């Protein structure tokens, strides 16, 4: 592993050296922090200190929201939403396109804040900028397709006119995670705004500044004040209160927490979408292009230090190519540069926290103690920063090991041989998760056929995860315990609306005409049904 030295960031002040500057306590300038944290709806005076995983230094004191603050946030959001719902679709789309340009114009600033807060590599932080811009552009350009009133078939041709309206839910609550602090904090809310809703969001406490920068950009783009409000605090307190007040909840996080969110929404009979955990498989078939597969597997396993919901933790390799593939995969993994994420040349940055590092260490140590072999990595790197861990490949992982079926959410992947594709599909479908999978093969038709047998919400052929994740027109989400509902595409915006049918009946109604008995009316309806079938009508 090679390490990269940090480079100073003139916009945000750059890394400070406490030994030479004892007063330096922020890796980001305090004035910049204040501008962002002033956006939080919080009046109680309580705050929580956050630190950067890059170097362990203090970043910000984040104001914490009280129950009264949350009530105030929802009151303001409901007032703003009532006015916003009356604006035209074109006006909303225009603001989204302004946001598209603004995000790209400010990409360096966004990347800097995201790296300081999450510790990720700069190239991974850039993808967040790109994804938010792509999401904004997609929904702006397809707004009418998704939201215009649509004509449907009526009960009586020529006499029944039916229209379906898309009515906004009201105020959407969004609870977003720390692993992709810009895109997860913003992208799910963009279709909610376009559909005429307001948003109250609770970003993860570890990455509040990145989410707050996103909120600032939304307002600069032209979204009305209070249409997007931010609250802060623990999930048990603030998250629960948000669920109790929202008209719809969007949650991204662990399966255990997602089940509690779903239960809270069910109690109130409001909808929710949940993107949850995964133990994602990647299949290397016997005809895979091995160099391409090895490169893809490195990204699948180690992008964002493995802290990605769609990243791969299980690698299934065909006997025929196993040794040749593993040789290439191990070599590429050992060649990765590990270090400060501010450098574009860094391949992998830090884990987010001590808790995440502890999980990774525990999973690897448990596997090794029970007989697994380390082919690459396998060590924490405190010389680089407090939470660094090497990209790690394990062989010989068995069901009695913790990392076999439990999500590590770190840079650890296990390699398994398979003899035939039937057994590979069976192993890919083991467990209760079903978020993302990848298949590498030079026979696209066969790979797509296998994909239909994989119980995952997204499957990528000859790509790790980017092909599905970056295709904004296609739905993305999990099966089984990996989630409910979908982001992106039509499904990603329709979840924030109520489908309202309006039918106008002309001429003859649903009753006997004057002088006709109920029995005659029934016979007339039966005859019409037979005629409609003969004519090929639905």
User: 500: which 2 tokens?
Assistant: 């309202």
User: For the purposes of burial, counting CB atoms within 10 Å of the CB of 151, is it exposed (0-12), middle (13-18) or buried (19 or more)?
Assistant: exposed
Backbone angles phi, psi at 355, to 5 degrees: -60, -40
Nearest to 184 by CA among 117, 97, 281: 117
Structure-block tokens of residue 51: 């630190």
| Contact between residue 192 and residue 77 where contact means Cβ atoms under 8 Å apart | no
DSSP labels, 279-307:
-EEEEE-TT--HHHHHHHHHHHHHGGGG-
CA atoms within a 13 Å half-sphere pointing along the CA-CB vector of 293: 26
CB 380 within 8 A of CB 357: yes
Q: Examine the residue annotation and report whether 327 is marked as an active-site residue of this protein.
A: no
360-365's contacts with Cβ under 8 Å and 24+ in sequence apart are 360/389, 360/392, 360/408, 360/410, 360/411, 360/412, 361/389, 362/402, 363/402, 363/403, 363/406, 363/408, 363/410, 363/412, 364/392, 364/394, 364/403, 364/412
Is 24 within 8 Å of 18 (Cβ atoms)?
Answer: yes
Q: How many CA atoms lie within 13 A of 111 on its CB side?
A: 20
| Cβ-contact 362, 378 below 8 angstroms | no
**DSSP 8-class letter at 371:** T
Known active-site residue 275: yes
What span, in angstroms and rounded, lies between the C-alpha atoms of 13 and 535? 73
Phi and psi torsions of 279, nearest 5° = -130, 70
How many of the other CB atoms lie within 10 Å of CB of 479? 17
Catalytic residue among 309, 407, 456, 481: 309
Three-state secondary structure string covering 55-115: CCCEEEEEECCCHHHHHHHHHHHHHHHHHHCCCCHHHHHHHHHHHHHHHHHCHHHHHHHHH
Q: Which is catalytic among the residues 117, 128, 272, 275?
A: 275
Residues serving a catalytic function are: 275, 309
């Amino acid at each position: 592993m090679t390490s990269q030295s940090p480079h100073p960031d003139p916009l945000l002040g750059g890394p400070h050296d406490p030994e030479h500057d004892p007063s330096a306590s922020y890796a980001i300038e305090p004035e910049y922090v204040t501008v962002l944290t002033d956006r939080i709806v919080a009046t109680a005076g309580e705050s929580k200190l956050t630190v950067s995983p890059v170097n362990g230094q203090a970043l910000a004191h984040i104001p914490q929201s009280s129950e009264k603050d949350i009530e105030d946030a929802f009151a303001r959001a409901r007032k703003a939403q009532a006015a916003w719902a009356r604006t035209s679709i074109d006006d909303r789309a225009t603001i989204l396109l302004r946001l598209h340009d603004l995000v790209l114009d400010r990409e360096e600033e966004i990347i800097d804040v995201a790296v300081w807060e999450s510790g990720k590599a700069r190239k991974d932080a850039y993808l967040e900028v790109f994804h938010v811009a792509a999401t904004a552009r997609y929904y702006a350009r397809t707004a009418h397709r998704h939201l215009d009133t649509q004509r449907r078939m009526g009960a009586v041709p020529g006499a029944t006119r039916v229209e379906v309206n898309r009515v906004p839910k009201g105020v959407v609550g969004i609870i977003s995670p720390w692993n992709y602090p810009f895109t997860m904090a913003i992208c799910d809310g963009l279709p909610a705004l376009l559909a005429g809703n307001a948003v109250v969001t609770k970003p993860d406490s570890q990455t509040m500044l990145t989410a707050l920068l996103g909120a600032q950009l939304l307002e600069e783009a032209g979204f009305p004040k209070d249409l997007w409000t931010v609250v802060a605090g623990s999930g048990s307190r603030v998250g629960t209160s948000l669920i109790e007040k929202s008209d719809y909840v969007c949650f991204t996080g662990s399966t255990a927490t997602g089940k509690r969110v779903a239960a809270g929404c069910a109690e109130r009979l409001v909808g929710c979408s949940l993107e949850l955990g995964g133990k994602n498989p990647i299949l290397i078939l016997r005809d895979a292009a091995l160099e391409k597969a090895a490169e893809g597997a490195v990204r699948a396993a180690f992008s964002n230090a493995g802290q990605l919901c769609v990243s791969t933790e299980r690698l299934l390799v065909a006997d025929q190519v196993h040794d040749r593939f593993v040789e290439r995969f191990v070599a590429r993994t050992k060649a990765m540069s590990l270090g400060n994420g501010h450098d574009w040349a860094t391949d992998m940055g830090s884990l987010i926290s001590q808790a995440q590092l502890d999980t990774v260490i525990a999973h690897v140590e448990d596997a090794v103690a029970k007989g697994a072999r380390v082919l690459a990595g396998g060590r924490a790197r405190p010389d680089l920063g407090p939470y660094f861990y090497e990209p790690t490949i394990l062989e010989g992982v068995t069901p009695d090991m913790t990392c076999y079926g439990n999500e590590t959410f770190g840079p650890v992947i296990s390699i398994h041989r398979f003899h035939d594709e039937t057994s590979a599909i069976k192993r890919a479908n083991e467990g209760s998760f079903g978020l993302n999978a990848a298949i590498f093969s030079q026979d696209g038709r066969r790979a797509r056929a296998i994909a239909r047998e994989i119980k995952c919400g997204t499957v990528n052929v000859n790509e790790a995860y980017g092909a599905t994740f970056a295709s904004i027109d296609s739905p993305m989400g999990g099966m089984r315990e990996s989630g409910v509902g979908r982001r992106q595409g039509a499904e990603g915006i329709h979840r924030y609306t109520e489908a309202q049918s309006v039918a106008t009946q002309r001429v003859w109604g649903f009753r006997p005409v004057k002088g006709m008995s109920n029995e005659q009316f029934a016979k007339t309806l039966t005859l019409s049904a037979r005629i409609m079938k003969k004519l090929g009508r639905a």
